[in-house]
Amino acid sequence: MAQLFTKDTQAIFWNNNASAIQRMLDYDFVIGRKTPSVAAIVAPTADSKFQKFFWGGDEIMINLYKTTAEAKKDYPNADVLLNFGSFRTAYDVTMDALNMGGFNTIMITAEGIPERLARKMNAVAREKNVTVIGPATVGAIAPGAFKIANIGGTIENIINSKLHRAGSCGLVTRSGGLFNELSNIIAINADGIAEGVAIGGDRFVGSVFIDNLLRMQDNPEVKYMLLLGEVGGTEEYKVIDAVKSSRITKPIIAWCIGTIAKHYSSGVQFGHAGASANAERETADAKNKAMAEVGIYVPESFNDLPNKIAEVYGKLKADGVISEIPEPAMNTVLKVRRSKQFICTISDDRGDEATYAGFPISSVATPDTGKGIGDVISLLWFKKQYPKWATQFIETVIKTVADHGPAVSGAHNAKVTARAGKSVVESLVTGLLTIGPRFGGAIDGAAEHFKYANDNNLSPAEFLNHMKKEGIPIPGIGHRIKSLRNPDLRVVGLKKFAAEHFPATPLLDYALTVEQLTTSKKDNLILNVDGTIGILMVDMWRALGYSETEIDEFISSGTLNAFFIAGRTIGFIGHVLDEKRLAMPMYRHPMDDILYQVDMAEEI
Ligand code: ACO
Ligand code: LMR
């Protein structure tokens, strides 16, 4: 790949380093990127599922994942890993990503990864043709396209250093601090940089000078290169060889810092782990001299570097190799931004017409749209367009549980409340609040326990024993009046629908073997309507391609009971309106229906 990054490059950011991510997003916004450069964040210990960031004056949500694999699964096109793990975890995170595949570039920020591990990691990356930037680096930038974390500093500094759009220089340094300094010098003396990499200060870094310069040689946007080496190591000699063999033909300006080292009696270790000369060849002076000998532009001193840049740039411009770069329009980031208090991901009322998960209400409301309440539920509860068989199943459930007469606990409570003079809404919620583990609210529990038993290959007898140990009746089994002799025809109807329309019903098939055992003990221990709904919803979601984690989340958040709540609301309202219509007086329970056994309270 001639270009390290483009305007479409997206990264997975390992570790929720919010300020660095915000800097990347601010940069994206300023340069007018369409998509955020950070697609996902891996935050192994985070409890939340997303984090809000500013996107200009607005806000966006970026998903948080526990592992790189999960993030990569959802964002397969994100081919850059920004590894902000500490020196203790950075190696494992990198190796994990290398083994996983799908990453072109991995940037490692940690300083001090054990050298043995760094060498192994770099060797594997090289084998797999993955560009590693670092360890111990601030990263890289392709101005106007993609910037890693804090490289280039603040937005003001970035614009001053012309890092908001591509220039002509390919810049490679070891140091991150000097990278920023040089970007500024290049902006003042030339037209900015086309691509820049700070390769990192550790002794064993992944991509070295030559790797980056060879890529820049092949990148048509780069017209000349600037290499800032330093005392220690022999990497600059590979560049010299490439110039000698004409593999590199673009002009290179280069300087090795650390020339002062010769004034010390023994080898001096400068700031970076790699910045120490172990032989004459590794001194800054020797390398500067050797580079100048093959025609690389080497200044007299670091102070002379700006003049050298101006000289080379001026020549290339005069020769017509470099032309004037038009300044692009830029967005500005507001100084004061307000974080939003609420988030909504299901509907939007800001336009002319409100939408349900992107669909205008008029596109689902009227009969001519062909959409029903199942479609509306699939949009507003699940943010998906379910296929017809699934939306029709949802509708079948809603209609099936709409009412079961006045005697059931919830309807009875709603009726008593209405007769006490309460409003429709008050009476309704009284009925709704009756829904629970014994009445209508066993659907989530049924899905959870039957799924657990089936996932763990428990035989029906083992499942019953397991539930006995748990000390709770099996949710979804048993009914007060329905039994083998008096079957619940709602259950028959739901099973028939599933047999005719579901691709497969493995969990229902398992549940029916459990029912055989429970009904052999007592004939009212049937798979009841709650159980059938819960189990078939799991079969539906599996057929729709949901992951087990997603299904478990639906169950634990109470989604399944919500189908009963939605359906039975219709019936409860009917009963309340019935009471109002009949103008029924206040209800008092007959005393002869109550067993009174009240003893005199003992004195203590
Ligand atoms: N799992 C295991 N054993 C059960 C279950 C069950 N789900 N339900 C009842 N039993 C057993 C009881 O332990 C009891 O055994 P015992 O006679 O040896 O003591 C016997 O069956 C009768 O128990 P009761 O509680 O008297 O049964 P009842 O018919 O009154 O209860 C109920 C009905 C409340 C629905 C009960 O079966 C239950 O709790 N089921 C689980 C919850 C459930 O699915 N509720 C939704 C029902 S459908 C709806 O509301 C829309
Ligand atoms: C219902 O749907 O409300 C019933 O299954 C419960 C009952 O007691 O009939």
Instruction: Give pLDDT, residue 261.
Output: 61
DSSP run (H or E) holding 402: none
Q: Which of 164, 263, 272, 404 is catalytic?
A: 272
For residue 408, the ligand 2 atom closest to its alpha carbon is 8
Instruction: Give pLDDT, residue 231.
Output: 86
DSSP letter at 473 equals P
Instruction: Give pLDDT, residue 233.
Output: 87
Single-letter amino acid, residue 105: T
What would the mean pLDDT of 248-261 be, rounded to a whole number? 89
- Quick: pLDDT tens for 282-340: 899 999 999 999 999 999 999 999 999 999 999 999 999 999 999 999 999 988 899 99
Ligand 1 binding pocket includes 235 (Cβ within 6 Å): no
Identify the residue with better confidence: 389 or 258: 389
Polymer length in residues for the chain: 604
| Domain architecture of the chain: domains with CATH | 11-318 (3.40.50.261), 409-476+497-515+530-582 (no CATH)
**Residue 167 Ramachandran class (φ > 0 left, ψ -120 to 50 alpha, else beta):** beta
Closest C-alpha to ligand 1, atom 5: 473
Query: String of b and e for 109-121 (b: at least 16 CB within 10 Å)?
Result: bbbebeeebbeeb
The model's confidence at residue 268, banded by pLDDT at 50, 70 and 90, is: low
Helices 559-582 and 443-455: crossing angle, nearest 10°?
160
Q: What is the mean pLDDT of the chain?
A: 95
Q: Which residue in the block uniquely carries the two structure tokens 């806000």?
A: 59
For residue 524, the ligand 1 atom closest to its alpha carbon is 29
Closest C-alpha to ligand 2, atom 9: 408
DSSP run (H or E) holding 80: strand 80-83
**CB neighbours of 283 closer than 8 A, spacing ≥ 6?**
231, 258, 259, 261, 262, 277
Instruction: Tell me the two tokens of residue 591.
Output: 């005393």
Ligand 1 binding pocket includes 478 (Cβ within 6 Å): yes
Instruction: Tell me the two tokens of residue 332.
Output: 């500005």
Ligand 1 binding pocket includes 409 (Cβ within 6 Å): no
Q: What values do phi and psi take at 211, rounded to 5?
A: -60, -45
DSSP run (H or E) holding 152: none
Question: Distance of alpha carbon 525 from its chain centroid, rounded?
Answer: 44
Q: How many CB atoms lie within 10 A of CB 458?
A: 19
Single-letter amino acid, residue 574: G
DSSP letter at 516 equals H
3-state secondary structure of 42: strand
Instruction: Compute the C-alpha angle 509/511/516, nearest 5°.
Output: 100
- Quick: pLDDT tens for 400-453: 999 999 999 999 999 999 999 999 999 999 999 999 999 999 999 999 999 999
Q: In this structure, are residues 104 and 131 in contact, taking their beta carbons and an 8 Å threshold?
A: yes
Q: In this structure, are residues 376 and 395 in contact, taking their beta carbons and an 8 Å threshold?
A: no
Work out whether strand 105-108 and strand 359-360 pair parallel, antiparallel, or are unpaired: unpaired
* In 174-303, beta strands by DSSP E: 193-198, 224-230, 252-257
**CB neighbours of 600 closer than 8 A, spacing ≥ 6?**
none
Biggest CA–CA distance in the chain, Å, is 113
Work out whether strand 355-356 and strand 359-360 pair parallel, antiparallel, or are unpaired: antiparallel
What would the mean pLDDT of 342-349 be, rounded to a whole number? 96
- Burial class of residue 142 (count of CB atoms within 10 Å of its CB; 0-12, 13-18, 19+): buried
Q: Which residue in the block uniquely carries the two structure tokens 């591509």?
A: 166
344 pLDDT above the threshold of 70: yes
Ligand 1 centroid to residue 453 C-alpha, Å: 19
Q: In this structure, are residues 7 and 144 in contact, taking their beta carbons and an 8 Å threshold?
A: yes
The model's confidence at residue 273, banded by pLDDT at 50, 70 and 90, is: low
Indicate if 272 belongs to the active site.
Answer: yes
Closest C-alpha to ligand 1, atom 9: 478
The sign of the torsion formed by the CA atoms of 67, 69, 74, 77 equals positive
260 pLDDT above the threshold of 70: no
Query: What is the signed CA dihedral for 539, 543, 544, 550, rounded to 10 degrees?
Result: 50
- Quick: pLDDT tens for 95-140: 999 999 999 999 999 999 999 999 999 999 999 999 999 999 999 9
Ligand 1 binding pocket includes 473 (Cβ within 6 Å): yes
Ligand 1 centroid to residue 303 C-alpha, Å: 87
Ligand 2 centroid to residue 408 C-alpha, Å: 5
What would the mean pLDDT of 236-255 be, rounded to a whole number? 97
Ligand 1 centroid to residue 479 C-alpha, Å: 6
- Measuring CA to CA, which residue among 514, 533, 511, 377 is closest to residue 443? 533
Rg (alpha carbons) of the chain, rounded to whole number: 35
- Burial class of residue 317 (count of CB atoms within 10 Å of its CB; 0-12, 13-18, 19+): middle
- Quick: pLDDT tens for 48-82: 999 999 999 999 999 999 999 999 999 999 999 99
Ligand 2 binding pocket includes 480 (Cβ within 6 Å): yes
Ligand 1 binding pocket includes 525 (Cβ within 6 Å): yes
- Measuring CA to CA, which residue among 164, 105, 165 is closest to residue 134? 105
- Quick: pLDDT tens for 443-479: 999 999 999 999 999 999 999 999 999 999 999 999 9
Work out whether strand 38-42 and strand 11-14 pair parallel, antiparallel, or are unpaired: parallel
Q: Which residue in the block uniquely carries the two structure tokens 């290959």?
A: 457
Instruction: Give pLDDT, residue 275.
Output: 60
276 pLDDT above the threshold of 70: no
Q: What values do phi and psi take at 552, rounded to 5?
A: -60, -35
267 pLDDT above the threshold of 60: no
- Burial class of residue 141 (count of CB atoms within 10 Å of its CB; 0-12, 13-18, 19+): buried
- The span from the CA of 599 to the CA of 604, in Å, is 15
Instruction: Tell me the two tokens of residue 211.
Output: 């790797």
**CB neighbours of 59 closer than 8 A, spacing ≥ 6?**
52, 53, 339, 340
Instruction: Tell me the two tokens of residue 314.
Output: 């001026």
Ligand 1 centroid to residue 315 C-alpha, Å: 90
Single-letter amino acid, residue 93: V
Ligand 2 centroid to residue 489 C-alpha, Å: 12
Q: Which residue in the block uniquely carries the two structure tokens 């990503």?
A: 97
3-state secondary structure of 60: strand
What would the mean pLDDT of 216-220 be, rounded to a whole number? 97
Q: In this structure, are residues 267 and 232 in contact, taking their beta carbons and an 8 Å threshold?
A: no
**CB neighbours of 328 closer than 8 A, spacing ≥ 6?**
31, 32, 144, 164, 165
3-state secondary structure of 603: coil
How far from each other are the two terminal CA atoms of the chain, in whole angstroms? 87
Ligand 1 binding pocket includes 511 (Cβ within 6 Å): no
The model's confidence at residue 258, banded by pLDDT at 50, 70 and 90, is: confident
- The span from the CA of 146 to the CA of 6, in Å, is 6
Q: HSE (CB half, 13 Å, CA atoms) of 383?
A: 6
Instruction: Tell me the two tokens of residue 153.
Output: 């500093």
Q: Where are the alpha helices (DSSP H) in 206-259?
A: 209-218, 235-244
